[in-house]
Amino acid sequence: MAEKYSELELALNTLVTEFHGASENNTATLTSDQFENMVTKQLPTMAKADGGVGQLLQKMGLEVGQSISFENFWTLVQGLATQLYGLKSNEKTAKCSCLLQ
């Protein structure tokens, strides 16, 4: 019998799969161009908002031309998730104070 994964488990798998699939050879890091292509395809709203991909690189502490590791990407995901939760929090009573140190 096949295991049934939760939506959260599937979402985590998607994040990892999309990140590594964005590289030409399934490598551990992305170039700026590979990252931009992934973000444009998978996060189109974020790619267009507030300075686009350059702003996303800044949120990861990177500049155009630097390699992007999954750790860098995860930092971005954490920030975007917290931001999105904040935007949606008007509909909720809980507030997210999730900050990675």
User: What is the distance, to the nearest Å, from the Cα of residue 94 to the centroid of all Cα atoms in its chain?
Assistant: 23
Q: What predicted TM-score, i.e. pTM, was given to this entire model? A: 0.76
Report residue 94 as tokens: 């809980």
Percent of the chain with pLDDT strictly greater than 70: 80
- Sequence-separated (6 or more) residues with CB below 8 Å from residue 23: 29, 30, 31, 34
Q: Which two structure tokens, joined as six digits, stand for 96?
A: 């997210």
pLDDT of amino acid 72: 95
Identify the band that residue 48 occupies on the pLDDT scale cut at 50, 70 and 90.
confident
Q: What's the mean pLDDT in 56-80?
A: 90
Span of 7-21, 43-57, 68-82 with lowest mean pLDDT: 43-57
For residues 75 and 82, the answer to whether their CB atoms sit within 8 Å is: no
Rounded Cα–Cα distance for residues 63 and 16 (Å): 22
